[in-house]
Amino acid sequence: MLEAVLFDLDGTLADTAPDLAAALNHVLRSENRDPLPFDEIRPWVSHGAKYMIRQGFKEEPPHIDELWSQLVDFYQHNIATHTRLFEGMDQILRTLEKRQLKWGIVTNKPAFLTDPLVQALDLNCKCVISGDTLAVKKPDPAPLLFACQQLAVDPANVLYVGDAQRDIEAGKRAGMRTAVALFGYLDSHDSPDTWGADILLTQPIDLLKLF
């Protein structure tokens, strides 16, 4: 019996890549480097700001902490300029609420970025677990289990949807059913069919078939 659906945020629930790509290109320009095309940056987004910087610079800059602060500051002030829910996701959320199924967000994004984004997108979720809500984050299952406590649901009756291998690993370790958002920020070397997820979603609307 399905009681709840939990979503990763970036690359699963919301298409945040345009604003994060703009933040990375802002940093590159500040270092007198050419901006990169969006399609090149998009697969890096799920791995965090420092990963994006390393990829963008093709190395780890010695002042990466300073660049990280600059990227995050720019992103924080432009957090929902172009970010939108993935097409069809609003219908999914309405369907969950209509059927009185609980839903929430479990992300590795820190709360000081997660909370204003959730507010800007006007998301009426029952719980939001950020990357710094607990001492550990995904692929540790603890954030997902904590979300289940907040929602008062059995993990065995929860579906977790994410676009990264760590999402599926965390969901499986939590005893949940899992689904890969193939429309998310997968890289060319990713092999989601080997992650052991229960479901592969080509587009958000595919979730309706499960309800």
Backbone Cα Rg of the chain: 17
Residue 209's pLDDT is: 84
Q: Which of 8, 15, 19, 190 is catalytic?
A: 8
What percent of the chain stands above pLDDT 90?
95
* pLDDT value at 203 more than 80: yes
Tell me if 88 sits within 8 A of 205, measured CB to CB. yes
DSSP 10: B
The 3-state DSSP class for residue 50 equals helix
pLDDT mean over 144-173: 98
Is 163 among the catalytic positions?
no
* pLDDT value at 42 more than 80: yes
Give the Cα-Cα-Cα angle 52, 53, 58 (nearest 5 degrees): 100
Tell me if 183 sits within 8 A of 204, measured CB to CB. yes
Is 10 among the catalytic positions?
yes
Q: Which of 10, 15, 19, 163 is catalytic?
A: 10
pLDDT mean over 14-34: 98
The domain 4-15+83-210: what is its CATH number?
A: 3.40.50.1000
Mean pLDDT, the chain, as a whole number?
96
Residue 79's pLDDT is: 97
User: CA 183, CA 168: separation in Å to the nearest integer?
Assistant: 15
pLDDT mean over 18-43: 97
* pLDDT value at 1 more than 90: no
Residue 163's pLDDT is: 97
* 211 pLDDT tier (thresholds 50, 70, 90): confident
* pLDDT value at 96 more than 80: yes
User: CA 79, CA 96: separation in Å to the nearest integer?
Assistant: 26
* pLDDT value at 135 more than 80: yes
* 16 pLDDT tier (thresholds 50, 70, 90): very high
pTM: 0.95
* Pairing status of strand 127-129 against strand 102-106: parallel
* pLDDT value at 125 more than 90: yes
Decide: residue 126, CB within 10 A, 0-12 exposed, 13-18 middle, 19+ buried. Answer: middle
